[in-house]
């Protein structure tokens, strides 16, 4: 168990061992979540990454993407479509 003191400005220093476990360093952000009446602190970047992963879950299968090359080809196709749209507007 780790302990942190709250300053008069409401600030705390997260103990080094907790920072290591969270994977946070200077300048990183943490998020406070409430679960079942308890407050949980977590790495904000990791929460965002997990949220994005969950949002995209199943999309590769839906789009028929099975290999890294499939993804590369999709990106090229999208870039070409965007270029063609922009180029058509300039004519």
Percent of the chain with pLDDT over 90: 70
Name the pTM for this structure.
0.56
Alpha helices in the chain (DSSP H): 16-22, 44-56, 59-63, 68-90
- Same domain flag for 46 and 79: no
> Among all chains, which residue has been given the structure tokens 């302990």?
3
Residues 13 and 44 in one domain: yes
Q: What is the pLDDT of residues 2-12, one digit of tens each?
A: 999 999 999 99
Identify the pLDDT of residue 9: 97
Question: Do 38 and 82 belong together in one domain?
Answer: no
CATH assignment at residue 8: 2.10.260.10
- Which DSSP state fits 84? H
Predicted local confidence at residue 91, as pLDDT: 59
Could you give the CA distance from residue 91 to residue 85 in angstroms, rounded to a whole number?
10
pLDDT, mean of residues 8-30? 95
Question: Mean pLDDT score of the chain, rounded to an integer?
Answer: 92
The number of domains in the chain is 2
What is the domain extent for residue 25? Answer: 1-57
Task: List the structure tokens of 54.
Answer: 């969950």
Q: Is residue 14 exposed (0-12), middle (13-18) or buried (19+ Cβ within 10 Å)?
A: middle
């Amino acid at each position: 168990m780790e302990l942190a003191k709250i300053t008069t400005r409401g600030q705390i220093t997260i103990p080094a061992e907790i920072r290591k476990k969270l994977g946070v360093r200077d300048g990183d952000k943490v998020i406070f979540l409430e679960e079942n009446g308890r407050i949980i602190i977590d790495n904000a970047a990791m929460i965002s990454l997990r949220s994005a992963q969950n949002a995209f879950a199943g999309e590769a299968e839906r789009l028929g993407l099975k290999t890294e090359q499939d993804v590369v080809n999709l990106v090229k196709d999208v870039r070409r479509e965007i270029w063609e749209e922009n180029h058509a507007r300039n004519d």
